[in-house]
Structure 1
């Protein structure tokens, strides 16, 4: 048997708020002669109000199987949230894109001092554009692939990594 003092350890302050009640409280099971406990039937919980959805789904005139709905309409079923591995992977890709942006910036600033027959304003504008390209790619992929599967999102991020490697920085060397 638990005492009310034991029950206090398992509760939060404000648990007695009437808006948090999810159903009726039931009496503890009554013992039956012979040492067995008779359990009361459990009633399903009734929701207090209809659930509010942000994006109501369109009404379909014909029944659709659950498997078909997921394959046909990617907006109807949102992708599952990323797990720990996905979040760490996104962080590593973000760090890679940040390093690429720094590499493009350093390479562009180094090209500005080489005396190329290009106006320095053009070189600075191209340097800024090249430095922003990895950041724009990363943000665009994350924003545009929210309803896609995780592997599709990572595939597009890896394509960005391959396309946006700062070759001038790598070919000129770090401190040349």
Structure 2
């Protein structure tokens, strides 16, 4: 005969039991942890069931940008805006110098293109790197920040000599 203290030290009755029968959770709830694969989730429509721990509603939601990425995009976007202002001021400063070299019909399209180039680069880099890693997007934006420097404004400035 065994006592209660001997029963506490035995392994008898500790075999793995069958998991509980499948249960239904209301729509929007997820089962997590051990045995969650046996729990089904009923959607709000009541007809379809999704088995497993993944909720169909959450799988459809797009993932947003992280806070550091939003800050990086804001700072680089501000730099591109300043580049646009620099191209306007530098291009206006170069117009009298370029008038004896080229006609205004040749100067004006390149002047407009130089003004909109930072905005176009920013927009194109956001759209074309949508599915890529964050470092790829930042690298493309930084490459544009190096390539689009408004050199007429940097070298001569607004007043110049």
8 Å CA contact 2:122, 2:141 repeated in 1: yes
Aligned counterparts of 2:112 and 2:157: Cα–Cα separation in 1: 20
CA RMSD of aligned residues (A): 2.6
8 Å CA contact 2:90, 2:158 repeated in 1: no
Q: Which has the higher helix share?
A: 2
In the alignment, structure 2 segments of 5+ residues that lack a partner are: 1-24, 28-35, 50-55
SS in 2 for 1:46: strand
Aligned pair partner of 2:41 in 39, 46, 54: 46
1:45 Cα deviation from its structure 2 partner: 5.3
**TM-score of the aligned structures, taking structure 2 as reference length:** 0.62
Runs of 4+ aligned structure 1 residues displaced above 3 Å come to 42-45, 49-54
1:22 Cα deviation from its structure 2 partner: 2.2
Aligned counterparts of 2:64 and 2:100: Cα–Cα separation in 1: 49
Number of residue pairs matched? 114
**TM-score of the aligned structures, taking structure 1 as reference length:** 0.57
Aligned counterparts of 2:138 and 2:100: Cα–Cα separation in 1: 38
In the alignment, structure 1 segments of 5+ residues that lack a partner are: 1-20, 24-41, 55-77
